[in-house]
Every structure is written in C-alpha cells, then in structure tokens.
Amino acid sequence: DRAAVPLGSIVRLGGTATVGGVDFAMIAGPCAVESYEQMSASVAMAKAGGAVALRGGAYKPRSSPYSFQGLKDEGLRIMAEIRAESGLPVVTEVVDAETVDLVAEHADVLQIGTRNAQNFTLLRAVGQAGKPVLLKRGFGCTVSEWLQAAEYVLAAGNPDVVLCERGIRSFEPSTRFTLDLSAVAVVKHMSHLPVIVDPSHGVGHRHLVKPLALAAAAVGADGLLLDIHPDPASALCDGAQALDRDRWFDLADALRDVLTSL
Ligand code: PEP
C-alpha cells in the first residue's frame, strides 16, 4: 500500500548536489578516467548540460582482462583535482574492500558496479566509509535482491544509498542489457531510497540513450547516470554508448521538456 511507504529519502552527494525529493539529478561523465585533459573537457561539458555531479571510473571491472582496466590511483588523483577545480562532486567505482578507504579519500560518492552488487564484504565496507553509495543493480538480481544488497550498506550504518537501475540480462540481444524501467516504479513503491537510471550501460548504443533517458524521467526516476565524452571515437572504454557534446545538450533540453510536462 503506497500510504505505508515512507517519504522518499534525499541523499546529499557533496556540496549542494542531492538525489531524491523534487529535483531531478543528472550525473554525467566518461565511463573511464583517461587523462587530466579528457576529464577537464568532460567536466566542462557536464556542467554546461546541467549535471550536478561528475562520473568517471578509475578502476574498471572489464569483462576481458585485456581491455583497459583504468588508471587506478592516478585516475583517483585526476578526479580529485577536477573536483577541486570545478566544485562538482565526483562519483567513482570502488571494486574491492581493500581500496574503499583510498577511493573514499578522493571521491564524494562510492559507486558499486553491477558485478559487485552482491559482494557483501564490499557492501559492508562501503557502509562504514562515511560516503554516499551509488548501488547499481546486479544484472542478474531481482528487485528484492537489489534492495537486500542496499540493506547491507544501511545496516552497516550508512543511510545514504542511491539505487541505480542499469539493465538486466535477458534473451534480447539488440541492446547490451535490458533496461528494466518497470523496476523503477516497483522500487518507488517499495522503498524510500532514491533511484536513478543508467541508460548508457543499459542499452550500449548512443542512439538509444535519449529515448530511454526520457522514459526513465517519465517513469519517476530521481535522476540519470550518463556516459558523456568530449571525443567518443577515442574513448578507451564503452565509446559506443557515450554521448558527444551535441547529443548530451540535446538530451538535457529534451529532459527539461519532459520534466516540466509531468
Ligand atoms: C560504470 O558505470 O562505469 C559501470 C561499469 O557500470 P556497470 O557496473 O553498471 O556495468
């Protein structure tokens, strides 16, 4: 019963940026941190399009061990530098319990990726790190398993969890995963936690990001996590799903129209 669901929580990301409540939050940036110059160009793009926070992976859990694995601690240092210069909070993934403290020193928000969504040791560790957590849904997890994963962070003493739907595995190969927008409505009904959507990793193709992003806003998501890149053709990670400047600005404009019409 909707009346039994507590009012939605608002999670502070850093500075004045929040997720949940009345504002729709866009977190944008490249899939991976590649260089200071790339991040500097990315944060300018992100800000100009209205993002409240910058994303970028320093540790990249890739399917293949031969793919770019991220700049690791050097990537964290770049993120921290860009954060200091731009004033935008930064979101980055932490892939194991050993590096939680290091990542927490450099980032405002700790992202748990889909492949670690049920790594309970890691979930407990980020629950004690004193930073908000962006928890991706495991691509093989039910909504209930996803919410129980969030409970590991909450039970460890951290109330600041943002859920992120990023697509689940299905039999359909035309998108990278199957973005489960119905899960947004389900989670909104079941939980007080804010929920955002990552259409970039969900669909895997930039031409499909806009329609799914608009649909996420319409279905009641509290925000979006988006891959943008100053030069997607040169991206070291997931370039096919990254929005270039024009596509990002076009999406941001279209989102404003959808959000005002709701
Ligand atoms: C990411 O957001 O950088 C990422 C790797 O996403 P996911 O864990 O959803 O694949």
Ligand 1 centroid, distance to 163 Cα (angstroms): 13
**Per-residue pLDDT reduced to its tens digit, 24-69:** 999 999 999 999 999 999 999 999 999 999 999 999 999 999 999 9
By C-alpha distance, which of 101, 102, 42, 46 is closest to 72? 102
Q: What is the ipTM, given to two decimal places? A: 0.99
| DSSP three-state, residue 243 | strand
- Whether residue 193 has pLDDT greater than 90: yes
Distance 261 CA to ligand 1 centre (A): 30
Number of structural domains, the chain? 1
Is the model's pLDDT at 208 over the cut of 60?
yes
Q: What is the DSSP letter of 23?
A: B
Q: Is residue 13 part of a domain?
A: no
Q: Where are the alpha helices (DSSP H) in the chain?
A: 36-48, 73-86, 100-106, 120-127, 143-155, 182-190, 199-203, 206-219, 245-261
Q: Is residue 137 lining ligand 1, measured as CB closer than 6 Å?
A: no
pLDDT band with cut points at 50, 70 and 90 for residue 7: confident
Q: Ligand 1 in contact with 113 (CB < 6 A)?
A: yes
User: To which residue do tokens 């790339």 refer?
Assistant: 38
Mean pLDDT value across residues 85-94: 98
In a domain, 14, yes or no: no
Task: Taking residues 102-107, report their average pLDDT.
Answer: 98
pLDDT(231) > 60: yes
- Spacing, Cα 113 to ligand 1 middle (Å): 5
Q: What are phi and psi of 62, to 5 degrees?
A: -90, 150
Nearest ligand 1 atom to the CA of 225 is 2
pLDDT at 235: 98
Is 63 among the domain residues? Answer: yes
Q: For residue 174, is pLDDT > 80?
A: yes
Does residue 6 sit within a domain?
Answer: no
Kindly tell me if the per-residue pLDDT of 1 is higher than 90. no
Quick one: 154 exposed, middle or buried, by C-beta within 10 A (0-12, 13-18, 19+)?
A: middle
Q: Determine whether the shortest distance from the Cβ of 176 to ligand 1 is under 6 A.
A: no
Q: Could you tell me which residues are beta bridge partners of residue 20?
A: 23
Atom 8 of ligand 1: nearest residue by CA position:
113
Enclosing domain of residue 157: 22-261
**In a 3-state reduction of DSSP, which class is residue 92?**
strand
Query: What's the confidence (pLDDT) of residue 3?
Result: 52
- Let me know if residue 4 belongs to a domain: no
The per-residue pLDDT for 4 is: 52
pLDDT at site 24: 97
In a domain, 15, yes or no: no
Pocket test for ligand 1, best of 63, 90, 93 (most atoms within 8 A of CB): 93
**Of 70 and 6, more confident:** 70
What percent of the chain is predicted at pLDDT more than 70? Answer: 98
Q: Is 206 in the pocket of ligand 1 (CB under 6 A)?
A: no
Q: What pLDDT is stored for residue 5 in this prediction?
A: 53
CATH classification of the domain holding 163: 3.20.20.70
pLDDT, residue 188, reads: 96
* Neighbour count for residue 120 (Cβ, 10 Å): 11
What string of H, E and C letters represents the secondary structure of 108-168?
CEEEECHHHCCCHHHHHHHHCCCCCEEEECCCCCCHHHHHHHHHHHHHCCCCCEEEEECCE
114 lines ligand 1 (CB under 6 A): yes
203: in domain: yes
Put simply, whether the predicted model's pTM sits higher than 0.90 gets the answer yes
Q: Tens digits of per-residue pLDDT, 126-164?
A: 999 999 999 999 999 999 999 999 999 999 999 999 999
Q: How far out from the chain centre does Cα 105 lie?
A: 19
Confidence of residue 6 (pLDDT cuts 50, 70, 90): low
29 lines ligand 1 (CB under 6 A): no
| Residue 243: band (very low, low, confident or very high) from pLDDT cuts 50, 70, 90 | very high
- Look over the chain and give the mean of its residue pLDDT values, rounded to a whole number: 96
Distance from the alpha carbon of residue 4 to the mean position of ligand 1, in angstroms: 33
Q: Is residue 34 part of a domain?
A: yes
Which of 27, 31, 141, 200 has most ligand 1 atoms within 8 Å of its beta carbon, as the pocket-test mutant?
31
